[in-house]
Structure 1
Amino acid sequence: MIKNGKQHLDSLRDGREVYIDGERVGDHTEHPAFRQAIRSAAGLYDYQARPENIEKMTYTSPGSGAPVNRMWQLPTSYAELVERRKALEAWAEQSGGFLGRSPDHVASCLSGMVMGLDVFERYDAQRAKALWNYYEYARDRDLYLTYVIVNPQGDRGKDPGQQSEGLVASVVDEDAEGITIKGAKMLGTASPMANEVFVGAIQPLKAGEEHLSFTACIPLNAKGVKMFSRKSYEASAVSTFDNPLASRLDENDAVIYFDEVKVPWDRVFVHNNVQMAHAQWHVTPAHVYQNYQCQIRFAVKSRFLLGLARKLTEVNGVIKFPQVQEALGQIAAEVAMVEGLLHGMEVAGTHHGKYFVPNRKMLYSAMVVTQQLYPKLLTQIRELAGGGLIMLPSSYKDFGNDAIAPYIAKTQCSPTTDHMGRVKLFKLAWDAVGSEFGSRHLQYEMFYGGTNMVTRGHAFRSYDWDRAVGQVDDFLGGYTLDVATAPVPLQRVA
């Protein structure tokens, strides 16, 4: 049976500890801070369960023989990679790309680690076995995973191992049954709507920080797991009409504190090894696969924003202005560039063992470009929309007041739609680019992959410098001082 939305909702009613606005939440699936976003996430599972979508969205699990989402698929060819991408793309289109930590993100990360199972086996055969068994467990249940892999900022002038006791999640005990961890991790995006949390360290560790070098998967209702949510934009949304994104797609970020949480060995994939804590990301395909999913989602999101920009100019009656078409052409070129990089990293992919992996160089190029592109896209939309983003009715209630409704109709006019359609579009645009929800997305897109220094470092390390510098060296080798004044024919270097 294919997992559907009701099954996912039922699985979240598990008694987990969720705190927001100074209190512990009872059934968080019904709380106004989380309710609609959780249902949007459940809607993804309803989408995959529709008869017309089953072939596109699912494949047959090699373990259970039942259909599961293609996010768990381990492609062995270019064709299978594209087949998987189309499923992830369809899911992203359900939210316009605004669900940044949809179920396919961490599933992609875990799948990438499994593709590099040989790397785990070189370090610890037992941990490798635990990883494979957990992957099968999560796959066959179509689990929604989130992760916390970044340390709380604390004193950023100190190394993780130098922070105050109890701040950074670390192993404080171990026995024959497993490890016990205590401390916090960030960012816990979408944790209210996920089943389990993957805990690890993506930031480099050094000798002496072995107690921080663990990776494990933990049910979010496990004893001692405490979730501290940030402010809910959903709870602050006036209505779906006024906040069409924030009211339904706020995937609440959270600090997750592990208060002496016991984790059995069969859920521990890295332990007491700083080298393996790093290798799990960058020697296996994990970092490539998780960020490849991000680029799929970003391509969908940027296309959504491009469509939004075009509609704003049509509603404002400026679409035929040459300067407006030029601005839209610039945005279109940049969006097409993202799509081109996405397709390029697929076509130029290579095998890691039997598995087909997107091209690392193009992936990291895309990460650098999109990190800079998102704030630019929002600025371009603001410029095209102008003051119309600000001068809107205060809420949907204004339309129900007979004394002011005629004035709204008169002042919110458009050559292409009625006053209701104009307000509806501009409310959507403001939610995307100017609201608290929109500002959070700006921060997310700028930093989810790391700071500019981090993403540019990945691009630097993955580029084929031998080929680039070799071209220069070959050219320099084609002439000498002895022939400084004599014409030398250019020759193609083989």
Structure 2
Amino acid sequence: MIRTGEQYRESIRDGRDVWINGEKVADVPAHPAFKPLVDIRARIYDMAHEPATRDTMTYTDPETGEVNAVQQKPPRTREDWDAKRAATDAVLSDVGGVVTRVGDETIGEVWSLIDGQDVLNAINPTYAENVKRHIDLACYGDPFHVSANTDPKGDRSKRPQDQDPDMLLHVVRETDNGIVVRGAKYETAAAYSNQAFTKPTIANWGDSELSDYALGFMLDMGAPGLKYICRTGFAGAKPIEDYPVSNRFDEVDTLVVFDDVEIPWENVLFYRDTKAATFIRATLHRYSAFAFTQRNLRLADLMIGAALWNVKQTGLEKQQAVQEKLATLACYREGINAHLTAAIAMAEPSPGGLLMPNQSLLYTGRVLACSQLHEMMHIARELCGGQICITPDKASFDHPDTKPWLDKFYSINEHWVAEDRRKLLAYARDLLNSDYAGHRLTFQLFAQSPPFAHLGAVYRNFDWDGPLDLVKDAARLSDNVLGSLGRSAK
């Protein structure tokens, strides 16, 4: 059964070794750096129980009669994808902002393992059984699931074996109970999650077919030997009135240190096989890229809203130059929307019997969303104007010595008084111009993989035969040219 928010909070009070700002955290759910996102994840659990939202957030399994989370269900129909999209939109609307690593954007990486069962069975049939069991656990146990991808890597001009071997996570020995691993991974939301799908990074994990770096497993985040060293958080660092986004939606990233952590055999999904590792890296985002890109759609809506309110309050929305910039933001937004909608409308069956979004449309949509984000943020900044970087803080608007002057210069008319303008400018600054805004921009660029990998996914999934055949016929080339492609004439 789906847990309640309070049950989730209790599940991460497991004695884990969490550090932030040189402080060991005694209570993760209550710590000011983690509490906002813990509360949001708890809210998602509670939405599954509340009458107003439970039909959007849950479904009833026809075989077991259990009520399960929509987001955890392996997709087999277009209706499944429509339901997932609606559930994500419901969450983002309920919490009032964009959160990425809350489970639905990472569980899809495990679904991709269903499509690799033949690869896994060729190595060890037990691995495919482990995959099935963990997918069932995700469906019925509804853990907060995250993703572990990036290692410290070290000197990337060298093989991992030719430097400190811990720069990439690797196996150091086997036991009767499982494998013992050492190294580190960067993981967003790790300190307050339940489990992580841990797999190789995009790197040379060794040229041996049986590399100790080519492994994947499901990690219990409360396992002994884990240490969580978190980056400085944005929540609580500055007043919420001045930084309403930073204080509510910062998903804390963590260096997770594996100090000889034992992974039980039943949690090992593949081990010492570069073929499996290569397959996983190539297919990792065939499902999860949808939920990831959907966040960019919501971010586009927030940028449009912030920019449009700012030009409307000063009466600039009727100017052609302003309308052109707003239209550019709208084109970006609708481009993402079109790719997501078409990817489901033209969804394709996966090798493992699931329904995956049209891969070419999904990956090109992700490139559009990520590669143009910085340009769209700059347009939104321009529309909001220079006041987002020069407006005083809330304390100055409240102090009796400065309040009359700020009321005078920030009030426009009876509809736009100083306090509402301050709120809008503070929101736009935090969305577009703050430390948190810069962090989010970089996060969206690299969160699923770097830009070259985004384009690599497009290259592997685009139908190149269509344009080739079109030009062959239009130019009246002979069938002989097909031999250069390894294809024969029909």
CA deviation after TM superposition for structure 1 residue 81, in Å:
2.0
C-alpha change, 1:47 and 1:418, in structure 2 (3 Å) is farther
Q: Conserved in 1, the CA contact under 8 Å of 2:76 and 2:355? A: yes
Task: Give CA-to-partner distance per residue, 1:306-338, whole Å, 9 cap, x none.
Answer: 222211211232112121111101110111011
2:358 maps to 1:368? no
CA deviation after TM superposition for structure 1 residue 96, in Å:
5.3
User: Which residue pairs with 2:216 in the alignment?
Assistant: 215
CA deviation after TM superposition for structure 1 residue 89, in Å:
2.7
Task: Give CA-to-partner distance per residue, 1:262-297, whole Å, 9 cap, x none.
Answer: 1101111011111111213435xx421011111122
2:266 maps to 1:266? yes
SS at match of 1:242: coil
Alignment of 1:155-194 (within 5 A): 155-186=155-186, 188-194=187-193
User: Which residue pairs with 1:198 in the alignment?
Assistant: 197
Task: Give CA-to-partner distance per residue, 1:328-354, whole Å, 9 cap, x none.
Answer: 011101110110000111111111243
Which of 100-109 and 355-364 deviates more? 100-109
Q: Provide structure 1 residue ranges, at least 5 long, that are not aligned to the other structure.
A: 480-493
Q: Conserved in 2, the CA contact under 8 Å of 1:37 and 1:247? A: no
User: Which residue pairs with 1:29 in the alignment?
Assistant: 29
- The amino acid that maps onto 1:408 is L
CA deviation after TM superposition for structure 1 residue 368, in Å:
1.5
CA deviation after TM superposition for structure 1 residue 153, in Å:
3.8
Alignment of 1:84-103 (within 5 A): 84-95=84-95, 98-103=98-103
Alignment partners' CA distance in 2, 1:97 and 1:266: 37
Alignment partners' CA distance in 2, 1:124 and 1:107: 23
Q: Provide structure 2 residue ranges, at least 5 long, that are not aligned to the other structure.
A: 479-489
The TM-score with structure 1 as length reference comes to: 0.91
Task: Give CA-to-partner distance per residue, 1:94-151, whole Å, 9 cap, x none.
Answer: 4555212122111122233235444433332101111111221232221111121112
- The amino acid that maps onto 2:355 is F
User: Which residue pairs with 1:381 in the alignment?
Assistant: 380
CA deviation after TM superposition for structure 1 residue 207, in Å:
2.8
Task: Give CA-to-partner distance per residue, 1:350-388, whole Å, 9 cap, x none.
Answer: 112432110111111112211212101110111111211
Q: Conserved in 2, the CA contact under 8 Å of 1:77 and 1:356? A: yes
Identity, % of aligned positions: 26
User: Which residue pairs with 1:457 in the alignment?
Assistant: 456
User: Which residue pairs with 2:3 in the alignment?
Assistant: 3
SS at match of 2:217: strand
Alignment of 1:466-481 (within 5 A): 466-477=465-476
Which of 91-100 and 120-129 deviates more? 91-100
CA deviation after TM superposition for structure 1 residue 478, in Å:
7.6
C-alpha change, 1:60 and 1:206, in structure 2 (3 Å) is farther
C-alpha change, 1:157 and 1:198, in structure 2 (3 Å) is same
User: Which residue pairs with 1:414 in the alignment?
Assistant: 412
User: Which residue pairs with 2:321 in the alignment?
Assistant: 323
Which of 305-314 and 269-278 deviates more? 305-314
Alignment of 1:98-113 (within 5 A): 98-113=98-113
Q: 1:337 aligns with which of 320, 328, 335?
A: 335
The TM-score with structure 2 as length reference comes to: 0.92
Q: Conserved in 1, the CA contact under 8 Å of 2:160 and 2:167? A: no
CA deviation after TM superposition for structure 1 residue 27, in Å:
0.8
C-alpha change, 1:429 and 1:449, in structure 2 (3 Å) is same
Alignment partners' CA distance in 2, 1:119 and 1:359: 22
User: Which residue pairs with 2:121 in the alignment?
Assistant: 121
C-alpha change, 1:234 and 1:257, in structure 2 (3 Å) is same
User: Which residue pairs with 1:401 in the alignment?
Assistant: 399
CA deviation after TM superposition for structure 1 residue 436, in Å:
1.0
Q: CA RMSD in A?
A: 2.1
User: Which residue pairs with 1:312 in the alignment?
Assistant: 310
User: Which residue pairs with 2:431 in the alignment?
Assistant: 432
CA deviation after TM superposition for structure 1 residue 160, in Å:
3.7
SS at match of 2:104: helix
- The amino acid that maps onto 1:270 is F
- The amino acid that maps onto 1:31 is H
User: Which residue pairs with 1:47 in the alignment?
Assistant: 47
Task: Give CA-to-partner distance per residue, 1:240-260, whole Å, 9 cap, x none.
Answer: x21111111111001111000
Q: Conserved in 2, the CA contact under 8 Å of 1:74 and 1:115? A: no
